[in-house]
Amino acid sequence: MSLTESPPSLKRIIESILFAADHPVSARELVSVLPEFSLKSIKEVLTILQTEYHSRGIEIAEVGGGYRMQTSRTCRVWVSRIRQTYKDRMSRATQETLAIIAYKQPVSRAEVEQLRGVDSSASLRYLLDRKLIRIAGRKETPGRPLLYGTTRAFLEFFELKDLSCLPVLKEAEDLTANLSLFQG
């Protein structure tokens, strides 16, 4: 910045950070990189940006514990046309496995397989490789089987603020139907 230029506004700074970031950025993270601004002013600017972007092709969304710029929900159907050439789609078996983990976590492989009725090791490996699930610990039973839970990447992928934003289940067979609603 030259001596004749004035510093950018907080709104422009936050907008630039959200555009450049490779992950959702929390208000607290913004405070840590922008110590000259208060948490209150950062939150106010985030709210202003969300309002300003609301009617555009890009929106500021709160997902996975932070904020990010993303394609507007109203434009996704058209954007998905260009992305279909490289988008990795989940099989039905993997969707079922992920739904069970999302709603029942922490859950063991045996519990997933009991609900699905078939081997789930390939689906678990796929979900672990894509970092949608993680090993959340071990069950306190004989053999101490691994327990699985969802990750922050899961929240980001399905554009959820947190797990409380998952659709409410009415019946066990709705597990897959509910998560497939998020895939466009």
Q: What is the pLDDT of residues 141-170, one digit of tens each?
A: 898 999 999 999 898 888 888 888 888 766
Nearest to 58 by CA among 23, 21, 26, 15: 15
pLDDT at 15: 94
pLDDT at 86: 40
Q: What is the reported pTM? A: 0.58
Distance CA 67, CA 27 (A): 8
pLDDT at 177: 52
Cis peptide before 106 (omega within 30 of 0): yes
- The segments of the chain whose pLDDT lies below 50 read 1-2, 85-87, 171-173, 181-184
Query: How does DSSP classify residue 69?
Result: E
Q: Which domains does the chain have, with CATH numbers?
A: 10-81 (1.10.10.10), 92-180 (1.10.10.10)
pLDDT at 184: 42
| Type of residue found at 159 | E
Nearest to 151 by CA among 174, 128, 171, 169: 128
